């Protein structure tokens, strides 16, 4: 398995995310090439992609790491972790998370947060196995109309 840090938008990347994003969210559209370029160019955002074999294998998973500084220090959050349904269980999710944690550590981040819907049972088990601790907190969302 290979994990790549994405540094450029390619047609394969756009296609890969068009295939993966609907498996993550039924309401979010896949990002366009220009949206991906904006994300990749952002210094606080790192997009990781997983392939089962080599750089010539199809994209089977993705994860986004966002690192940002606030008054209490450098923080990071893992977002939009998705592995293709056909390849789940092959270790892609763990490899993606490990790559993101390694990158966060290299940047000096002490704590990395993520959220996961309770219905994503396997993902939640993975996060606990990898050392994440469930926090007692309230998550609020304000939707701009």
Domains of the chain and CATH, by start: 2-129 (3.40.630.30)
Cβ burial of 133 (10 Å; 0-12, 13-18, 19+) is exposed
The pTM is what?
0.92
Tens of pLDDT along the chain (145 residues) come to 899 999 999 999 999 999 999 999 989 999 999 999 999 999 999 999 999 886 667 999 999 999 999 999 999 999 999 999 999 988 999 999 999 999 999 999 999 999 998 999 999 999 999 999 999 989 898 999 8
List Cβ neighbours of 90 (8 Å cut-off, separation of 6 or more): 1, 52, 60
């Amino acid at each position: 398995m290979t994990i790549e840090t994405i540094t450029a938008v390619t047609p394969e990347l756009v296609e890969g995310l068009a295939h993966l994003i609907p498996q993550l969210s039924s309401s979010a559209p896949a990002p366009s090439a220009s949206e991906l370029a904006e994300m990749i160019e952002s210094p606080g955002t790192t997009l990781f992609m997983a392939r089962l074999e080599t750089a010539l294998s199809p994209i089977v998973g993705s994860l986004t790491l966002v690192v940002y500084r606030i008054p209490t220090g450098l923080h990071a959050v893992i977002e939009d972790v998705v592995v293709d349904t056909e390849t789940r269980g092959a270790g892609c999710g763990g490899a993606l998370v490990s790559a993101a944690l390694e990158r966060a550590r290299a940047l000096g981040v002490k704590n990395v947060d993520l959220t996961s819907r309770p219905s994503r049972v396997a993902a939640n088990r993975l996060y606990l196995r990898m050392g994440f601790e469930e926090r007692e907190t309230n998550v609020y969302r304000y939707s701009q109309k």
